[in-house]
């Protein structure tokens, strides 16, 4: 092998390999950029889970109250199915905006 070619290989092969490793470390499947996207997604999913947990707790409290408060059951029936006691007046307000 020619000495100049040998020197070029010794100089550039490690540099190219180092460049490939650095590129994979930044933009690869498990690189810094992918990790950043995963961290952002984790934060977003954690927020969504917290909202769902709060809604679940609210619904659980409502369910508990429905099991113990007959007036709340009556109100829920009036709101959901339009039921009311005989002689009671039930007011319904429709949204004046057209449905989309």
Conformation bin of residue 91: beta by default, left when phi > 0, alpha when psi is -120 to 50: beta
Q: How far apart are CA 89 and CA 80, in angstroms?
A: 15
User: 15-65: per-residue pLDDT in tens?
Assistant: 999 999 989 888 888 889 999 999 999 999 999 999 999 999 999 998 898
Total-model pTM = 0.54
CA of residue 60 relative to chain centroid, distance: 22
CA–CA dist 18, 35 (Å, integer)? 21
Q: What is the pLDDT of residue 1?
A: 67
- Return the pLDDT at 41: 97
pLDDT of residue 18: 92
């Amino acid at each position: 092998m020619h000495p100049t070619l040998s020197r070029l290989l010794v100089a550039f092969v490690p540099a190219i390999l180092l460049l490939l490793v650095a590129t994979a470390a930044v933009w690869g499947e498990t690189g810094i950029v992918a990790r950043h996207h995963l961290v952002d997604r984790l934060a977003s999913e954690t927020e969504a889970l917290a909202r769902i947990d709060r809604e679940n707790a609210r619904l659980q409290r409502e369910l508990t109250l429905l099991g113990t408060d007959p007036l709340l059951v009556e109100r829920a029936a009036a709101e959901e199915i339009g039921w009311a006691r005989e002689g009671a007046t039930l007011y319904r307000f429709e949204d004046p905006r057209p449905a989309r």
